[in-house]
Amino acid sequence: TEHDKKAKKRKHEYEEDEEDEVNFLLILINMWEEERYTDGSKWRFLEHKGPVFAPPYEPLPGNVKFYYDGKPMKLSALAEEVATFFAKMLDHEYTTKDIFRKNFFKDWRKEMTSEEKSKITDLNKCNFSEMNEYFKAQSEARKQMSKEEKQKIKEENERLLQEYGFCIMDNHKERIGNFRIEPPGLFRGRGDHPKMGMLKRRIRPEDIIINCSKDSKHPKPPPGTKWKEVRHDNKVTWLASWTENIQGSIKYIMLNPSSRIKGEKDWQKYETARRLKKCVDRIRNQYRDDWKSKEMRIRQRAVALYFIDKLALRAGNEKEEGETADTVGCCSLRVEHIKLYPKMDDQEYVVEFDFLGKDSIRYYNKIPVEKRVFKNLQLFLENKQPEDDLFDRLNTSILNKHLQELMDGLTAKVFRTYNASITLQQQLKELTCPDDSIPAKILSYNRANRAVAILCNHQRAPPKTFEKSMQNLQTKIDEKQNQLSAARKQLKAAKADHKASHDEKSKKAVEVKRKAVQRIEEQLMKLQVQATDREENKQIALGTSKLNYLDPRISVAWCKKYGIPIEKIYNKTQREKFAWAIDMAEKDYEF
């Protein structure tokens, strides 16, 4: 019969499911085993369509004017395009900053005709407000778009994804991560970056180096253009690359993080951190011994290593000379970056750090250190000027070489990964109550994450929208509270009713009202947890440690253990990146 057929089919599907799971695991294992070519090459066959370029500039309508010194002025297309980048940012604090304005103006003038150049000599006389209004109106119009228009855009994006978003690497179709090239604009940078405001140039096909295999269908440049070069280098995994003009760094189009090769790299990174867990005691004993070394260079190396281990400092940054922000890492610390206090409040041997770390994020910390470290630091500081190197017998390459000797694959970053991951695991154990509701557990999870982010100094300025979104949330909480009192009153009335009449109908009414109260209480709690979470999150960027330093298997295992849906912890992008961990980690996984 029909019913039997269905039942059979379902049973079959069920069995297939189980089989699928086994198959899937086998595929996973294979993924890491197969095609690991012994000659260092990453692929034999690579075919793709190249990048998607930013849409061309559309000139402003004639009625949107730029004013110089109070008078309207028609700009050439190039100058106008660059002006629109500034106009779009007019409401942003950046455009009030001196460096930003200076850099922008310098680069803008380069795009002007000589006539424009001679006329436009003072940014303060430029009035972009009509342009700014125009873009605001446009973005408003985009928000008001009809369902059909939105659907059309979605379909176009989907078409681009299908055409450009995948490549064939050996026998697999793989998702490409960033196949769209960023549109031109003004560079912002993090912190007070000295290059902010500079023009991030439009990337053209002539800037692009394509990498694909010889025997594949080579990607075609847009009509009338040429690639800079087409390569066939199978020792690398990128598909296309170009050099951006601000920092001169090379950008790559690569596979999506969830793809095979990247997933494997990620996995290996955490496996390295787990290996450190096994030998960290030996390493710590050694650097403690080295604090007593007769050789200055060894003492310095050992103290630096202690900082890296204890404070999760970066080793140092090899950056280009000159223009870049004055940021330092452990090896490049200068005398002026630390202060020593033999006694401070009730603590002894306190070191105060104050310097700009990666991305110009300030690192400020006061911590007590061991006496021997303190004495060594005093020694290193002797007869030095504020701008001298603290570790004058050390540089990043020496330290990295030493780390390699201590453990294969060891870098300063491995210490961070190890400490961040193990801290997350400990915090999760400490903070999670098995009896908590799901929202309360997620709050605990976020708190554990925050503990790690603080440890890694992943701070940020409170987002601009913070106060507003907090207010909105508070309004919602107030409303919910009113709803709750109303519901409680109704419940009370229903109870009184039932007491008087004792009939079935009023009993049911009490039940209904009781349920309503419960439901609203739950909703209220959820909102309150959200508010706490957001408040505590104000100045901490959780994303960085979550994406880069925390073994995702710890989070996945935690979710599996407490029945929390993975979606509550990782958004879609993150789930793709950590697909390997979601498949691998069981609920009893230990880092």
Ligand X SMILES: *[C@@H]1O[C@H](CO)[C@@H](O)[C@H](O)[C@H]1NC(C)=O
Q: Look at the block and give the residue holding tokens 């002007």.
A: 112
What is the amino acid identity at position 273? A
Residues with a known catalytic role: 549
Region 442-461 residues binding ligand X, contact defined as CB under 6 A:
455
Cα–Cα distances in angstroms (integers) from residue 328 to residues 60, 308, 360, 390, 395, in the given order: 44, 13, 9, 12, 12
Give me the phi and psi of 173, to 5 degrees please.
-90, 125
Rounded CA separation 170/151 (Å): 35
b/e map of 362-386 (b: 16 or more CB within 10 Å)?
ebeeeeebeebbbebbeebeeeeee
What is the amino acid identity at position 285? N
Instruction: By CB under 6 A, tell whether 342 contacts ligand X.
Output: no
**Closer residue to ligand X, CB minimum distance, 286 or 475:** 286
**Closer residue to ligand X, CB minimum distance, 202 or 402:** 402
Instruction: By CB under 6 A, tell whether 541 contacts ligand X.
Output: no
Min separation Cβ 70 and ligand X, Å: 6
Which is it for strands 240-243 and 250-253: parallel, antiparallel or unpaired? antiparallel
Instruction: By CB under 6 A, tell whether 527 contacts ligand X.
Output: no
Contact 175, 255 (CB under 8 A): yes
In DSSP notation, 237-304 reads --SEEEE-TTT--EEEE-B-TTSHHHHHHHHHHHHHHHHHHHHHHHHHHHHHHHTT-SSHHHHHHHHH
Q: Which residue is nearest to ligand X (CB)?
A: 233
The piece of 76-84, 105-113, 340-348, 569-577 that touches ligand X (CB under 6 A) is: 569-577
Region 282-311 residues binding ligand X, contact defined as CB under 6 A:
310-311
Give me the phi and psi of 10, to 5 degrees please.
-65, -40
Rounded CA separation 51/157 (Å): 14
**Closer residue to ligand X, CB minimum distance, 148 or 281:** 281
Among 86, 256, 574, 580, binds ligand X (CB under 6 A): 574
Min separation Cβ 531 and ligand X, Å: 21
Min separation Cβ 559 and ligand X, Å: 16
Contact 251, 175 (CB under 8 A): no
**Closer residue to ligand X, CB minimum distance, 199 or 457:** 457
Size of the site for ligand X (CB under 6 A): 23
Contact 302, 372 (CB under 8 A): no
Instruction: By CB under 6 A, tell whether 419 contacts ligand X.
Output: yes
Instruction: By CB under 6 A, tell whether 231 contacts ligand X.
Output: yes
Instruction: By CB under 6 A, tell whether 232 contacts ligand X.
Output: yes
For the window 387-406, what string marks contact with ligand X as x by the rule CB under 6 A?
Answer: --------x-xx--------
Min separation Cβ 51 and ligand X, Å: 19
Min separation Cβ 232 and ligand X, Å: 4
Region 94-133 residues binding ligand X, contact defined as CB under 6 A:
127, 129-130
The two three-digit tokens of residue 103, written as one number:
């850099």
Instruction: By CB under 6 A, tell whether 233 contacts ligand X.
Output: yes
Instruction: By CB under 6 A, tell whether 572 contacts ligand X.
Output: yes
The piece of 175-183, 244-252, 323-331, 570-578 that touches ligand X (CB under 6 A) is: 570-578
**Closer residue to ligand X, CB minimum distance, 27 or 137:** 137
Rounded CA separation 413/216 (Å): 38
Min separation Cβ 420 and ligand X, Å: 8
Region 344-373 residues binding ligand X, contact defined as CB under 6 A:
none
Instruction: By CB under 6 A, tell whether 47 contacts ligand X.
Output: no
Q: Look at the block and give the residue holding tokens 């005093």.
A: 378
Helix, strand, or coil (residue 552): helix
Residue 61 makes CB contacts below 8 A (sequence gap 6+) with 134
Which is it for strands 229-231 and 209-211: parallel, antiparallel or unpaired? parallel
Min separation Cβ 379 and ligand X, Å: 19
Region 52-71 residues binding ligand X, contact defined as CB under 6 A:
67
Min separation Cβ 367 and ligand X, Å: 8
Instruction: List contacts with ligand X (CB under 6 A).
Output: 67, 127, 129-130, 231-234, 310-311, 395, 397-398, 419, 422-423, 455, 543, 547, 571-574
